[in-house]
A and B are shown apart, each in its own frame.
Chain A
Amino acid sequence: MHILRILQTVDRRVLYVLLMLSVTLPFFLTVRLPMRVSPATQALYDRIENLAPDDFVLLAIDWSAGTRGENGPQTEALITHLMRKKCRFAMLAFEPQSPTLCQAIAERLGKEYGSIEGVNWINWGYRVDAKNFLKGFVQDIPAVIKTTNRQEDVTNLNKFPIMKGIKTASDIKLLINIAPSNIYQTYVQFVAGAKKVPMAVAPTSVMVPEVFNYLDSGQIIGMMPGLPGAGEYESLLGTNTKVTRFANSASFAHILIILFIVLGNVAMLLERRQNARAGGAA
C-alpha cells in the first residue's frame, strides 16, 4: 500500500498503545512545568481567600466515579482551601455516588487540617428532584435537609454545631458546584439567581466552554476549569499532589493527538495533490 494511504489508515490498536504509552511514561518524569493561572480560576481562588473564618459555603457535589479524574482533584483542591481558611462547609448531592466519594476526601483532608465533621463540615447526602428540592431548600434549609448522610437529625445543634445560624440561602456566603453535567444551571435558576447567592462552578473540561457564557453575564463569579483548573488551583495553594504529576501525562497525550491529526491531514493533502497531478497527466 502507498505510504500516504498507510499514514491515513493506521490500525486503531497501534493508536491505543501509543496513547497509553504517552500517558504512562511521563509518570516517571520528575520535571514539573509551570502552569499559568487563568482569570476564571484566579477569581474563584480570590473569592474563597476573601471569606472570613466560619463563613458558610455550600459545596454542591454532583459527580460520580466516571469523572473522578477531573472532579476528584477539583474537590480536593476546594476542600483543602476551605479547611485552611477555617470556613464551614456543607456537601449536598443530586448524584448517588457523590456523597460517598466526597465523604472519603473530606475525612482524609480533615485529619490533615484538623477539621472536624459536624463542627467544621457536614455531609447532607444524596437527594433527588433537584428543582423541587432546591425551591424549598432556599427558604428553610434545616426543614428540607432534615438528615445527614448518616441519617442523623441536622437540627441537633449539640451534634452539629456547624448548623448554628443556618436557616435560609441568605446564610450561604458562597455556593460552588462541582459537576460533570448542567446541574449548575439548576443552581443558577433556583439558588444563585433566585436568592442572589454568589456562585462558582468547577466543571469537567467538556463543560468549560459553555460556562464562559455565565461568567461573562456575571451569573457565576469564578470557575475551576477541569483538570487544568485543578492544577492551576494547586499552584495557587502551593500544594503538590498527583494533579501536578498528571499535567505531564496530559501534555504528552495532547501532543500525540495533535501530531496524529496533523499527520492524517498532511497525508490526505499530499495524496490529493498527487491524485490531481496523476489526473492532469492522464
Chain B
Amino acid sequence: MSEYIVRHTDVFMLWVGALCTLGLYSMLYKENRIYRLFEHLFLGLSTGYLVAQQWVDVLQPKWWKPMWEEGRWHFIFIVIFGSFYYFIFSRKGSWIARIVIGFFLGVASGQAFQLFANDTWPQIPSSFKPLIPHPAHTVMVDGKETLIKELTNSGALNNGIFMITVFCVMMYFFFSFEQKGLFVKGSAKLGRWLMMFTFGAIFGATIMARLALLIDRMDFLLNEFGPKAFGSAQMMFAILLAMMGLVLYLALVKDKKTPEEGEA
C-alpha cells in the first residue's frame, strides 16, 4: 500500500486537489454539508501545518536544539516565559499571562519610535513638491554637483494637485476644531471627494485580485487536472459545463418551489 502511494503521489495530489476545489465550490449553489466538511478539513490542515512549521523552523532550531543537544540549560527560561501565555486560561493566574503580553506590548511600543522615523516621517518632507516649472540644472549639495530634473508645466500642475490632495484629505480627518467656514468646510468636502478616487481605485484593484485567484483555480481544473484525469482540458470543460447547468437548474427551477435561503 505504502509503495503504491509513493509511486502514485502525483495522481493522488491531483485528485485530492480537484475534490477539495469542487467540494468548496459546492457552496456557490448554497450552504451544504459537503462544503462544511471541506471547510473543517481546511481549518484542521492549516492549523496542523502551522504548528508543525512553527516547531520545525522556529522552536526546534532556536530553542530545542541549543537547550537539549548543545546543553544550554538556560534556554529553559524561553519556554518558561513563553508558557506564561497559557495562564490566560486560568481565572486566578491570568495576571501572569499579562506579564508576557505586557512585555511584548512594551517592546512594540519601544519600537514605535523607529517605526515612525523610518516609515511615516520620510513621507512628510516628500509631500512638499516644487510648484514652479524650471529646466534641468545642477546645484551644489554638500560640495557635490547634484542634477535637478526638469519640471514641466504639467509636472508643476500635478505637484499642485498632489499637495492639494494631501491637504484636503488631512483636513477631512481634522477634528481638533469644528469644521465651519467656507475654506475649512470646502476643503474637507473636497478631501472626501478625492478619497473616493482612492476607494474606487482600491475597488478596481480588488476585483483584479479576486479574479486572479479564480483564474488560478480554473487553470488548475482545466489545464492541470483535466488533461491528466480525463485526457483533455475540453473534457474537463464539458464536465464543468454540466455542473454549471445543474446548478442553474437547481437554482432557477427547483428552488423556485421552495423559498430562497439568502443572497450572497
- How far is B49's CA from A27's CA once the two chains are assembled, in angstroms? 33
> What's the nearest-Cβ distance from chain B to residue A181, in Å?
12
Instruction: List residues of chain B with CB within 8 A of the CB of A217.
Output: 122-123, 126
Instruction: List residues of chain B with CB within 8 A of the CB of A149.
Output: 57
Check B118–A188 contact: CB distance below 8 A. yes
The stretch of A10-18, A41-49, A52-60, A160-168 in contact with B is: A10-18
Is B83 interfacial (CB 8 A cutoff)?
Answer: no
Check A96–B49 contact: CB distance below 8 A. yes
Interface string of A229-259 (1 = CB under 8 A from B): 0000000000000100110011001100100
The stretch of A67-75, A262-270, A273-281 in contact with B is: A67-75
> What's the nearest-Cβ distance from chain B to residue A205, in Å?
4
Check A72–B216 contact: CB distance below 8 A. yes
Check B209–A190 contact: CB distance below 8 A. no
Check A14–B211 contact: CB distance below 8 A. no
The stretch of A79-87, A113-121, A208-216 in contact with B is: A208-216
Is A185 interfacial (CB 8 A cutoff)?
Answer: yes
Q: Given A11-B251, A127-B58, A246–B209 Cβ distance below 8 Å?
A: no
- How far is B246's CA from A13's CA once the two chains are assembled, in angstroms? 11
| Residue from A27, A67, A68 with most neighbouring chain B CB atoms (10 Å) | A27
Identify B251's interface contact among A14, A23, A209, A213, CB under 8 A. A14
Is A189 interfacial (CB 8 A cutoff)?
Answer: yes
Q: Given A11-B251, A21-B244, A209-B198, A250–B122 Cβ distance below 8 Å?
A: no
Instruction: List residues of chain B with CB within 8 A of the CB of A193.
Output: 117-119, 122
Instruction: List residues of chain B with CB within 8 A of the CB of A103.
Output: none
- How far is B208's CA from A253's CA once the two chains are assembled, in angstroms? 9
Instruction: List residues of chain B with CB within 8 A of the CB of A208.
Output: 205
Is A39 interfacial (CB 8 A cutoff)?
Answer: no
Q: Given A126-B57, A135-B111, A250–B212 Cβ distance below 8 Å?
A: yes
Instruction: List residues of chain B with CB within 8 A of the CB of A20.
Output: 218, 240, 244
Check B213–A69 contact: CB distance below 8 A. yes
In terms of DSSP, what is the predominant structure of the interface of chain B?
Answer: helix
Q: Given A128-B54, A228-B208, A242–B126 Cβ distance below 8 Å?
A: no
Q: Which of B51-85 contact A (CB under 8 A)?
A: 53-54, 56-58, 60-62
Instruction: List residues of chain A with CB within 8 A of the CB of B49.
Output: 96-97
Check B205–A23 contact: CB distance below 8 A. no
Q: Given A226-B205, A246-B212, A250-B211, A27–B233 Cβ distance below 8 Å?
A: yes
Check A17–B248 contact: CB distance below 8 A. yes
Count contacts on B: residues with CB < 8 A to the other chain: 55
- CB nearest to A204 among chain B residues: B209
> What's the nearest-Cβ distance from chain A to residue B83, in Å?
16
Check A227–B208 contact: CB distance below 8 A. yes
- CB nearest to A212 among chain B residues: B201
Check B251–A99 contact: CB distance below 8 A. no
Instruction: List residues of chain B with CB within 8 A of the CB of A245.
Output: 219
- How far is B125's CA from A216's CA once the two chains are assembled, in angstroms? 11
Check B107–A23 contact: CB distance below 8 A. no
Interface string of A120-153 (1 = CB under 8 A from B): 0000011110011001000000000011010100
Instruction: List residues of chain B with CB within 8 A of the CB of A227.
Output: 208-209, 212, 215
Is B28 interfacial (CB 8 A cutoff)?
Answer: yes
- How far is B196's CA from A157's CA once the two chains are assembled, in angstroms? 54
> What's the nearest-Cβ distance from chain B to residue A274, in Å?
24
22 residue pairs bridging A and B, Cβ less than 8 Å apart: A12-B264, A16-B28, A17-B247, A69-B213, A70-B213, A132-B107, A149-B57, A189-B118, A204-B212, A205-B205, A205-B209, A209-B202, A213-B123, A216-B126, A217-B122, A226-B205, A227-B212, A227-B215, A245-B219, A246-B212, A249-B215, A253-B211
Q: Which 8 pairs, one residue from A and one from B, show the smallest C-beta to C-beta distance?
A: A193-B118, A69-B216, A13-B251, A205-B209, A96-B53, A206-B209, A205-B208, A69-B212
Residues on B lying within 8 angstroms of A by beta carbon are 28-29, 49-50, 53-54, 56-58, 60-62, 107-108, 111, 114-115, 117-119, 122-123, 126, 162, 198, 201-202, 205-219, 222-223, 233-234, 237, 240, 244, 247-248, 251-252, 263-264
Task: Knowing that A126-B57, A209-B202, A254-B211 touch, tell me 6 more A-B residue pairs with CB under 8 angstroms.
Answer: A27-B218, A27-B222, A189-B114, A204-B212, A205-B206, A216-B162
Residues on A lying within 8 angstroms of B by beta carbon are 11-14, 16-17, 19-21, 23-24, 27-28, 66-70, 72, 96-97, 99, 125-128, 131-132, 135, 146-147, 149, 151, 185, 188-190, 192-194, 204-210, 213, 216-219, 226-228, 242, 245-246, 249-250, 253-254, 257
